[in-house]
């Protein structure tokens, strides 16, 4: 048994008062959960403290909160660990971020999370009618690639942690986009390209993710939503060559081709390149490129003015020795028919030194 | 300490003052750097988005070159983004000997091969300072304590998340190092909301509004917390926080005017180097006020 202090953010919309903090003492063994602590307070001190919970075993996904600022399931966080990571010994507990608070630790999942999930059409749109008196049959390997996205329990913890959502509430967000990949990666779905075109064209879609790993860090089920967003991008650009108004397609193509050509990246050429391999003057640009060029000019000029970049440096790429080897590796790998991929979610870390650990293609062909 | 040194792309492109300041600071820390000049871009997440085998092969090649440097204790990078992208590849390469064999096929024509070796590491300068040099040793080398300088740490996503991949099990305080270094150098670490958030750089060409709202918000938070400057171990964060700062101001509808230092510049200042030789005159947001404070410290010493 140990004593812990839980500093909980309280809020009651009916009171008309702003949110406030209250310290509560609880007594629990360190291996018990933060949720156990909250329930002890409800039981012994203040029954009006509101929290949503059910299974207490990280299955139902109801008890998402922020513990010491980090989004997590309360039932999935040991109170002893939380105390170790707290400042000055008291564990702070707040409702999840990026969504409205209903009362105390309960947030409105409908207003943000479920609305966004519906946005991605979260059901199968079959390519054809099911066989008569039967169901669709797919080989088990074909579904491996989407098992990670399917592990989502819709707790909203990633939505709470998302740093893009924090500045752009219209971002479709990590949970909904992971759900989108669940269907884009499903061989039975007939609308892969349509789904991807929709998500690539939306200014708050797949190219609005800032690649910050916040969702990967907090997900209690290791769904790695950001990885699913990267898979959506890979399919949008690689498989369907979808050119979008956000210039996500152009950016990836330009980046990869510069690394192929020079070995290293040359930012001064990245922007003009990402407008397209064609001539800017003749209008052979990617969609949205001219607007971006105009917007980025002041920044480029500031770089020149501060002495960071010389005009020569802006135009001529530094040559590194032996870059033909990099080009050779590009050629070898890009000419292969099948992508060699290792998905650690499927094979497990350190399990890989055994036979058969490699998931060739991982279903992504 | 001899190290295989991977400077990355941006430190030799748009933030040459970073590469330059490392060259000045390394000898003062007894670091002998062997530059991996044939190595390629880490992919920064974008090549990974394009093709996993490709990005793993390119970084396995870099690791193999580093392992071939005779007598090197390990590999050092100076960019949070390189650290994150390379750690991601290393995690996969180390997980499966079969996968490693598949990747090493592409390195064979150069007689290179990446081998999983216990004890071999790739650490960015921030990790290296704390774990290999040590805060006490660093403190002993300080010639000009940064007294009175209020410095807001900006870590960059790729050295703090995901903790599982980034060795936090063995080094649980890796998300505190920048604060610890600031204090070891005699400065005051400023506590503010944005220290471990995203600078917005990865979407600067794809979604300027999201990108610069992020940069602007963190800069504003640091200013409101009383920071004289920010410091970052990531040159990409530096691009969005310094170079884009005048543009970011309009996205948060307020004035922003706070200098952003590279980590080696801050270390160099405390070790007695001159702001000019650390490239501090090559920033978009003027570092004049920081330079003035440093000059006063020097006068007092």
pLDDT tens digits, A114-125: 999 999 999 999
Residue B102 CB coordination number (10 Å)? 17
pLDDT at residue B301 in the model: 59
Kindly report the number of other CB atoms within 10 A of residue A277's CB atom.
13
- Chain B residues with CB under 8 Å of A295 CB are 208
Q: Whole-prediction pTM value? A: 0.92
| Mean predicted confidence (pLDDT) in A45-66 | 97
**Three-state DSSP class for residue A48:** coil
Burial class (CB in 10 A: 0-12, 13-18, 19+), A114: middle
A-B contacts at Cβ under 8 angstroms: 222
pLDDT tier at A363 (50, 70, 90 boundaries)? very low
The rounded distance, in Å, linking the Cα atoms of A164 and A215 is: 11
Please determine, for residue B159, whether its predicted confidence score (pLDDT) is greater than 60: yes
Q: In angstroms, what separates the C-alpha of A31 from chain B's closest C-alpha? A: 18
A339–B52 C-beta distance less than 8 A: yes
Residues of chain B contacting A344 with CB distance shorter than 8 Å: 91-92, 95
**Quick one: which of B113, B110, B111, B57 has its CA closest to B86?**
B57
Q: Closest-CA residue in chain A for B110?
A: A325
Tell me whether residues B50 and A309 touch, CB distance under 8 A.
Answer: no
Interchain CB distance below 8 Å, B213 and A321? no
- Cross-chain Cβ contact B197/A295 below 8 Å: no
Residue A278 buriedness (CB in 10 A; 0-12 / 13-18 / 19+): exposed
Taking each helix axis as running N to C, give the angle between helix A248-262 and helix A267-274, from 0 to 180 degrees, rounded to the nearest 10. 130
B198 interaction partners in chain A (CB closer than 8 Å): 163-164, 210-212, 214
Distance from CA of A351 to the nearest CA of B (A): 7
Tell whether the model's pLDDT for residue B4 goes beyond 50.
yes
Consecutive H or E run containing B155? none
A26, two tokens:
């609880």
Which chain A residues have a beta carbon less than 8 Å from that of B47? Answer: 255-256, 259
pLDDT in tens, A151-200: 999 999 999 999 999 999 999 999 999 999 999 999 999 999 999 999 99
Helix/strand number for chain B, H first, E second:
13, 8
In B, minimum Cα distance to A168 occurs at: B210
CA distance B177 to chain A (A): 15
Residue B122: count of CB within 10 angstroms of its CB: 21
| Least confident among A335-339, B5-9, B113-117 | A335-339
Decide: residue B131, CB within 10 A, 0-12 exposed, 13-18 middle, 19+ buried: middle
Listing DSSP states for B98-150 in one string gives: HHHHHHHTTTGGGT------TT--EEEHHHHIIIII-HHHHHHH-SS--TT-E
Q: How far is B227 from chain A (nearest CA, A)?
A: 21
How far apart are the C-alpha atoms of B108 and B129, rounded to whole Å? 34
**Start-to-end Cα distance in chain B:** 30
Distance in Å, alpha carbon of A363 to nearest chain B alpha carbon: 14
Q: How confident is the model at residue A312 (pLDDT cuts 50, 70, 90)?
A: low
| Contact check, Cβ <8 Å, B46/A350 | no
Q: Do A333 and B51 make contact, defined as CB atoms within 8 angstroms?
A: yes
Which run of H or of E encompasses B221? helix B208-224
Report CB contact under 8 Å: B246, A302.
yes
Q: Which residues of A touch B51 (CB under 8 A)?
A: 234, 238, 333-334, 339
CA distance B186 to chain A (A): 22
Average pLDDT (B210-217) is 97
Could you give the angle at the alpha carbon of B167 between the alpha carbons of B164 and B171, nearest 5°? 120
pLDDT for A316 equals 60
Tokens of B205: 């060409």
Measured at the CA of A242, the angle between CA A236 and CA A247, to 5 degrees, comes to 100
Rounded mean pLDDT, B68-72: 96
- Chain B partners of A265 at a C-beta cutoff of 8 Å? 9-10, 13, 41, 44
Q: Which of A142-146, A336-340, B268-272 has the lowest mean pLDDT?
A: A336-340
Which chain A residues are within 8 Å of B109, Cβ to Cβ? 325, 328
Per-residue tokens: A17: 């008062």
Q: Is the pLDDT of residue B42 over 90?
A: yes
Chain-chain contact of A214 with B84 (C-beta, under 8 angstroms): no
User: Which pLDDT score is estimated for A341?
Assistant: 82
Region B269-278: mean pLDDT is 96
In angstroms, rounded to a whole number, what is the distance separating the alpha carbons of residues A26 and A10? 17
Confidence of residue A339 (pLDDT cuts 50, 70, 90): confident
Q: Provide the edge-to-edge strand list for the sheet that holds B229-232.
A: B188-189, B150-153, B229-232, B260-262
Interchain proximity A329–B61, CB inside 8 Å: yes
How do A106-107 and A90-94 pair as beta strands?
A: unpaired
Residue A269 pLDDT exceeds 70: no
Per-residue confidence (pLDDT) for residue A356, from 0 to 100? 41
- Residue in B295, B286, B152 with CA at minimum distance from that of residue B225: B152
Give B205's contacts in chain A (Cβ within 8 Å). 247, 251, 270-271, 274, 292, 296
Residues of A with Cβ-Cβ distance to B106 under 8 angstroms: 329, 332-333
Reported as type and span, the H/E element at residue A64 is strand A64-67
Average pLDDT for B25-33 = 98
CA separation for the pair A206, A183 (Å, rounded): 15
**B52 chain-A contacts, CB cut-off 8 A:** 339-342
Q: Locate the chain A residue with the closest alpha carbon to B173.
A: A85
- DSSP notation for A11-38: --GGGTPPPEEEEEEEEE-TTSBHHHHH
A279-283, B7-11, B210-214 — which is least confidently predicted?
A279-283
The predicted-structure confidence for A318-331, as pLDDT tens digits, reads as follows 667 778 899 999 99
Instruction: Give the angle A74-A80-A84 at the CA atoms, nearest 5°.
Output: 105
Nearest CB to B57; choose among A209, A263, A329: A329
Of A321, A339, A357, the CB nearest to B98: A357
Residue A50 burial class via C-beta count within 10 angstroms: exposed 0-12, middle 13-18, buried 19 and up: middle
A208:B44 CB<8 A: no
* Per-residue model confidence (pLDDT) at position A142: 85
With contacts defined as CB-CB under 8 Å, which chain A residues touch B91?
Answer: 344, 349
As beta bridge partners, residue A24 has A6
Using the predicted structure, report yes or no on whether residue A51 has a pLDDT greater than 50. yes
Looking at every residue in chain A, the average pLDDT score rounds to 87
Residue in A with minimal Cα distance to B240: A299
What is the pLDDT, as a whole number, of residue A261?
Answer: 85
Using CB atoms, pick whichever of B9, B50, B209 lies closest to residue A256: B50
Residue B84: pLDDT over 50: yes
The pLDDT, as a whole number, for residue B13 is 82
Q: Is the model more confident about A345 or about B64?
A: B64
Residue of B45, B96, B204 best to disrupt the A interface, most CBs of A under 10 A? B96
Half-sphere exposure of B240 (CA within 13 A, CB side): 30
Tell me the two tokens of residue A143: 């579904």
The neighbour count for residue A363, using CB atoms within 10 Å, is 21
Nearest chain A residue (CA) to B279: A308
Mean pLDDT of A80-85: 95
> Which is higher by pLDDT, A355 or A177?
A177
Give strand pairing partners of A228. none
Q: How confident is the model at residue A273 (pLDDT cuts 50, 70, 90)?
A: low
Shortest Cα–Cα distance, B32 to chain A (Å): 21
Q: B112-144, pLDDT tens digit by residue?
A: 999 999 889 999 999 999 999 999 999 999 999
- CB contact (8 A) between residue B10 and residue A267: yes
pLDDT of residue A353: 54
Contacts of A329 in chain B (CB under 8 A): 54, 57-58, 61, 106
Query: What pLDDT score was predicted for residue A319?
Result: 67
pLDDT band for position A282 (50/70/90)? very low
CA distance B213 to B253: 10
Q: What is the phi/psi pair of residue A213, to 5°? A: 70, 5
H/E element, B90? helix B80-95
* A28: helix, strand or coil: strand
Whether A255 sits inside 8 A of B10 (CB atoms) is no
Q: What is the pLDDT of residue A284?
A: 46
């Amino acid at each position: 048994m140990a004593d812990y202090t839980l500093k909980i953010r309280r809020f009651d919309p009916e009171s008309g008062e702003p949110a406030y903090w209250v310290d509560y003492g609880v007594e629990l063994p360190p291996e018990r959960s933060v949720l156990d602590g909250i329930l002890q307070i409800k039981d012994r001190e203040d029954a009006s403290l509101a929290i949503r919970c059910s299974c207490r075993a990280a299955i139902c996904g109801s008890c998402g909160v922020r513990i010491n600022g980090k989004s997590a399931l309360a039932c999935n966080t040991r109170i002893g660990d939380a105390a170790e990571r707290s400042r000055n010994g008291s564990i702070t507990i707040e409702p999840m971020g990026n969504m409205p608070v209903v009362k105390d630790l309960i947030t409105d999942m409908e207003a943000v999370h479920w609305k966004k999930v519906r946005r991605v059409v979260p059901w199968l749109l079959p390519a054809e009618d099911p066989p008569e008196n039967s169901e669709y049959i797919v080989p088990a390997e074909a579904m491996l690639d989407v098992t990670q996205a399917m592990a989502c329990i819709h707790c909203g913890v990633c939505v709470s942690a998302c740093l893009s959502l924090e500045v752009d509430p219209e971002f479709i967000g990590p949970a909904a986009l992971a759900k989108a990949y669940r269907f884009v990666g499903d061989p039975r779905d007939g609308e892969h390209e349509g789904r991807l075109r929709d998500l690539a064209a939306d200014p708050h879609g797949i190219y609005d993710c800032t690649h910050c790993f916040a969702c990967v860090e907090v997900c209690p089920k290791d769904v790695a939503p950001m990885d699913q967003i990267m898979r959506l991008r890979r399919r949008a650009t690689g498989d369907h060559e979808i050119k979008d108004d956000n210039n996500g397609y152009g950016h990836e193509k330009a980046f990869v081709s510069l690394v192929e050509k020079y070995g290293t990246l040359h930012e001064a050429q990245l922007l003009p390149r990402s407008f397209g391999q064609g001539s800017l003057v003749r209008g052979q640009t990617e969609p949205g490129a001219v607007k971006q060029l105009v917007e980025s000019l002041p920044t480029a000029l500031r770089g020149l003015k501060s002495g960071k970049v010389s005009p020569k440096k802006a135009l001529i790429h530094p040559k590194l020795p032996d870059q033909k080897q990099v080009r050779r590796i590009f050629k070898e790998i890009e000419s292969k028919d099948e992508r060699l991929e290792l998905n650690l979610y499927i094979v497990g870390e350190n399990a890989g030194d055994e036979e058969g650990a490699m998931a060739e293609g991982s279903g992504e062909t | 300490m001899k190290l295989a040194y991977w400077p990355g792309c941006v430190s030799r492109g748009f933030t040459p003052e970073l590469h330059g300041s490392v060259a000045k600071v390394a000898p003062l820390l007894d670091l002998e750097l062997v530059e991996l000049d044939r190595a390629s871009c880490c992919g920064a997440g974008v090549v990974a988005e394009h093709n996993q085998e490709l990005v793993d092969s390119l970084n396995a090649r870099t690791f193999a070159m580093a392992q071939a440097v005779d007598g090197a204790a390990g590999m050092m990078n100076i960019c949070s983004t390189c650290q994150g992208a390379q750690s991601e590849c290393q995690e996969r390469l180390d997980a499966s000997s079969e996968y490693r064999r598949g990747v090493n096929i592409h390195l064979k024509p150069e007689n290179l091969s990446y081998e999983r070796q216990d004890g071999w590491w790739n650490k960015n300068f921030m990790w290296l300072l704390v774990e290999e040099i040590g805060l006490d040793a660093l403190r002993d080398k300080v010639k000009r304590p940064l007294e009175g300088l209020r410095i807001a740490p900006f870590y960059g996503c790729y050295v703090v998340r995901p903790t599982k991949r980034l060795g936090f099990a063995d080094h649980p305080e890796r998300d505190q190092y920048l604060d610890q270094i600031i204090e070891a150098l005699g400065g005051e670490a400023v506590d503010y909301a944005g220290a471990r958030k995203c600078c917005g750089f990865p979407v600067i060409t794809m979604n300027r509004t999201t990108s610069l709202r992020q940069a602007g918000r963190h800069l504003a938070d640091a200013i409101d917390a009383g920071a004289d400057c920010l410091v970052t171990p990531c040159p990409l964060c530096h691009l969005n926080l310094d170079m884009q700062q005048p543009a970011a101001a309009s996205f948060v509808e307020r004035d922003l005017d706070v200098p952003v230092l590279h980590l080696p510049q801050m270390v160099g200042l405390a070790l007695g180097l001159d702001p000019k030789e650390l490239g501090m005159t090559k920033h978009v947001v003027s570092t004049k006020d920081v330079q003035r404070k440093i000059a006063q410290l020097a006068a007092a010493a």
